[in-house]
Chains A and B, each alone.
Chain A
């Protein structure tokens, strides 16, 4: 092994055992099971044999670049169906009774306030319904429409609704149970999308900065239209979820993909194949914090998960189980970066 020998000679000079040993080194190298010393030996041995080295290069390229195609599959759907997640019914428990009581109280107090407010003056007022980060609140509008606002959202409505339409402006995410009134369509405007409904249950999500506006329809029928080009429109059917891309102005429809209506009202955070950039924004809103994504690479990691009571640090740790990344906690927030990024 002191000086390179021509390939043919090399093979003759080596005992079968050593040849066998070289294949073992090559295999270990491919399977990333090789130690540093073995690697040195491998590199040396293989540099001695041109033909073997060429073959090894090919095999190496094959090993690390050839993989089966991704298979679009129904595994998650099937699993959820088998577990009954898609149509799970919650039994009435203590917390539900609590919620009903709270709702009744809220209705009573709101109608009292409403009476005080509107009856004597009968003036139209611009009402602003606001939630802070980490908050979810339920409101009842003057026409009886129930609205739940997700964290860091604003709903603006001029009430009572005296115009031909019941028009509201939404910044953020809301779940609407619209009181039926065929004569006065209910219109939800977000920055890019106009959603016209008569009386239904639907969820609208259009936070500023999001690349898309999402509408999920649970009951009834609604019409969606591009706010800037009203002729660009579509009619949604129940069970559908439509994403409107704020840049391309296109509608993407997904059917049979709806979870329980607006689970965020119960504090559930459900993520389906979402990238970390958009997840970080959701976590910021839910946990009143700031999350900085340090590099592009880490922002592109995708996750599917759902959480209900887990604290933020637990959630991030669980994500880290799936894809490696670094978490740094500072006084101003949390920094997430790739493992390879050494800055």
Chain B
């Protein structure tokens, strides 16, 4: 899975809800990486390093603006799951997507963060653990909680046109 500026930008927007400032923070990260490029070799995983840099940039911005004692990622109380788009004329109904969003909204902040990093950015458990400063086991717990919440809130069988889905139709034949 490749990493682009977009990934980092969306991640920052998740914290700050402001695109302009988020762009500023990502480019600051790039500048500091360029200025410290001689030390880049000692970084083992550049991908999680970049996310950590962006995370730190966002935290220190929040610290400045909110005048709160945001010392670590643990003190962050809000993270927004970004809006996503699927293929055109997708077989999944808009309502279903809204259900998924609603389920994600109910998740605790850290859980939403872990879910975002895994789903949107394709990070491995190990990388998510590094970015959020938690153990892999906790990452696993967060993600399982997220998947469970979404699955439970999804309402497939009651929907009248649920069988429009080719996948679902196929699965019905098996029974």
Contact = CB atoms under 8 A, between A and B. Distances in A.
Interface of A: 20, 23-24, 26-28, 30-33, 47, 50-59, 61-63, 65-71, 73-76, 78-79, 82-83, 322-323
A68 B151 contact: no
A75 B5 contact: yes
Main DSSP-derived SS at the A contact region:
helix
Interface string B108-134: 000000000011101011000000000
A71 B76 CA distance: 25
Closest 7 CB pairs of A and B: A78-B27, A66-B84, A79-B27, A79-B30, A66-B86, A27-B147, A68-B82
Given A30-B119, A66-B86, A73-B23, 20 more contacts: A26-B147, A27-B144, A31-B119, A51-B156, A51-B157, A54-B157, A55-B151, A56-B151, A57-B167, A58-B92, A58-B96, A59-B150, A59-B151, A61-B92, A67-B84, A71-B6, A71-B9, A75-B23, A79-B27, A323-B2
Interface string B84-101: 111100101000110010
Size category of the binding interface on chain B: 35 or more
B148 interface: yes
A79 B31 contact: yes
A70 B171 CA distance: 34
A221 B36 CA distance: 41
A312 B36 CA distance: 25
Residue among A58, A61, A83 with the highest chain B CB neighbour number at 10 A: A58
A91 to B, nearest CB: 19
B126 to A, nearest CB: 9
Contact of B84 (A23, A33, A68, A76): A68
A55 B147 CA distance: 10
A298 B120 CA distance: 24
A307 to B, nearest CB: 14
A55 B144 contact: no
Given A50-B175, A71-B6, A31 B118 contact: yes
Contact of B27 (A32, A51, A75): A75
A99 to B, nearest CB: 27
A308 to B, nearest CB: 14
A83 B144 contact: no
Contacts of A57: 165, 167-168, 171
